[in-house]
Structure 1
């Protein structure tokens, strides 16, 4: 492992044993070191292989954040992995620590930010929101800074981002907006209010998350012919029309077109969701 660039006494950019660009951190790791030198493995406390952002940007983040804050965020990420699963990997640590670093500065100055997606995040991602609140408790216990309760929301989005493998928070925000639109549209079309904490809704939201990302990444399901689509359209006309509305809204708002195969699968998921008895509270279906 050799050093490529020194960012400060504690952070260097180098290459691991496989040649992958890696951020190495450790106290004194960059002291009196030059590019081309071997990385002192005995001083390495943690290392990160660049994935969601350029390696130099990742190293710059690590260099800007105090080590004590990074250590606290390691505790937060470990707790999140227990609560939310193994998809919460170390790759979320530095982007999350970067956000929390500036949030801590705001808290110390008594400043706050209004987050416009408060309702959507709390209702679409309840487990991640609860973990965001737990993160604030860990931060207060370890660093002695009480942050505004709304700071749990962007932390929750970082956990959502980690689970779906997206390095782009902006895309996760767009996805969140579309999820809310989708549930509202279904409510309008079928005359019900979806209980977003029901198991059926959770499964449907999971499908929508990955559908949105496939559309973003150009990895949609391949076409298999029109016969199945026509059969579904005939058997489930309301569900198919609803799926087409959702596809239109995605294209209109975010410029991402759904292929017919994805619209077909979406119609089937709409049908499965609206057929469940536990999705609505105190509401009736249209026409009943």
Structure 2
């Protein structure tokens, strides 16, 4: 492999045998090297392969700016908690988490701690990711000093959510979290029912909305002008459809994008399920 760009003594951008641009790390890998020279394979410790259209040069620049000991700690922790297989070459999660950990370490050493305002929402809406984040934080703390407080699990959970959607922008995940909570509150107030994450219908609703936001973000909403299923849902659940249109307004105001009729229909279906489950629980 030939070097395309030297980022620093430990990080270089190269091209592998299949023609992909890859990020290589290793102590002294880029020392006194120039573009066009061969990479010493013995010095390569990790190979990262950018995916999802991410700019390899940009990711390499971000990675090069990070403390490589922190990167090592995070990569080991991700592998130990099996969030990604040990042989994974995906750089996005490792870079995002390492960047956060580096900043959190600086705050910890400066004696500065922050309380994340979305902590309750994250624990409720993203329980699976939060549990994984708590395990990841424990694993990271085994490799760094000083250890980070448990409150950092909230931020790590958001990074896991973001990585799962490959949106590339954590601000999108923050916005999504707030909008989901706003939608659940609207349903609760409209029907006088608890919109609980623990209920099957509540969990399904949250999962549906999360992927709805990804479709919105990627400009790939469900859209069929003659959708028979969508029309059937709107006819069968008129009240839920009115609620779904209210939720669609919330989405449009927060994300600046109107939802298609099919997206509104499927929202209505999930709203109907939540209300029906609530009625069933009351009968019991």
TM-score (norm 2): 0.89
Q: Does the aligned pair in 2 maintain the 1:25–1:46 contact within 8 Å?
A: yes
SS in 2 for 1:14: strand
Matching of residue 33 in structure 1 with residue 4 in structure 2: no
Q: How many angstroms does 1:80 deviate by?
A: 4.5
CA-to-aligned-CA distance 1:19-51 (integer Å, 9 cap, x gap): 222211012211221101122222211122234
Q: Does the aligned pair in 1 maintain the 2:49–2:90 contact within 8 Å?
A: no
Of structures 1 and 2, the one scoring higher in RCO (CA 8 A, sep 6+) is 1
SS in 2 for 1:12: strand
SS in 2 for 1:138: helix
Q: How many residues matched?
A: 281
- 2:223 paired residue number: 222
- 2:20 paired residue number: 20
- 2:140 paired residue number: 139
Q: Does the aligned pair in 2 maintain the 1:13–1:23 contact within 8 Å?
A: yes
Structure 2 counterparts to residues 133-212 of structure 1, below 5 A? 133-212=134-213
Question: Which has the higher mean CA deviation after the structures are superposed, 96-105 or 59-68?
Answer: 59-68
Q: Does the aligned pair in 2 maintain the 1:69–1:97 contact within 8 Å?
A: yes
Counterpart CA distance in 2 for 1:89 and 1:32 is 27
Q: Does the aligned pair in 2 maintain the 1:89–1:162 contact within 8 Å?
A: no
Question: Which has the higher mean CA deviation after the structures are superposed, 122-131 or 196-205?
Answer: 196-205
Q: Does the aligned pair in 1 maintain the 2:10–2:30 contact within 8 Å?
A: yes
Q: Does the aligned pair in 1 maintain the 2:107–2:113 contact within 8 Å?
A: yes
CA-to-aligned-CA distance 1:137-189 (integer Å, 9 cap, x gap): 22322223132322111111111111122211111111111111121111112
- 1:130 paired residue number: 131
Counterpart CA distance in 1 for 2:41 and 2:161 is 33
Q: Does the aligned pair in 1 maintain the 2:4–2:36 contact within 8 Å?
A: yes
SS in 1 for 2:6: strand
Q: Does the aligned pair in 2 maintain the 1:15–1:21 contact within 8 Å?
A: yes
- 2:109 paired residue number: 108
Counterpart CA distance in 2 for 1:249 and 1:88 is 38
Q: How many angstroms does 1:254 deviate by?
A: 1.5
Counterpart CA distance in 2 for 1:279 and 1:137 is 41
Cα gap change, 1:79/1:180 in structure 2, threshold over 3 Å: closer, same or farther?
farther
Q: Does the aligned pair in 2 maintain the 1:198–1:279 contact within 8 Å?
A: no
Q: How many angstroms does 1:136 deviate by?
A: 2.6
Q: How many angstroms does 1:76 deviate by?
A: 2.4
Large movers: runs of 4+ above 6 Å = none
Q: Does the aligned pair in 2 maintain the 1:81–1:89 contact within 8 Å?
A: no
Q: Does the aligned pair in 2 maintain the 1:4–1:12 contact within 8 Å?
A: yes
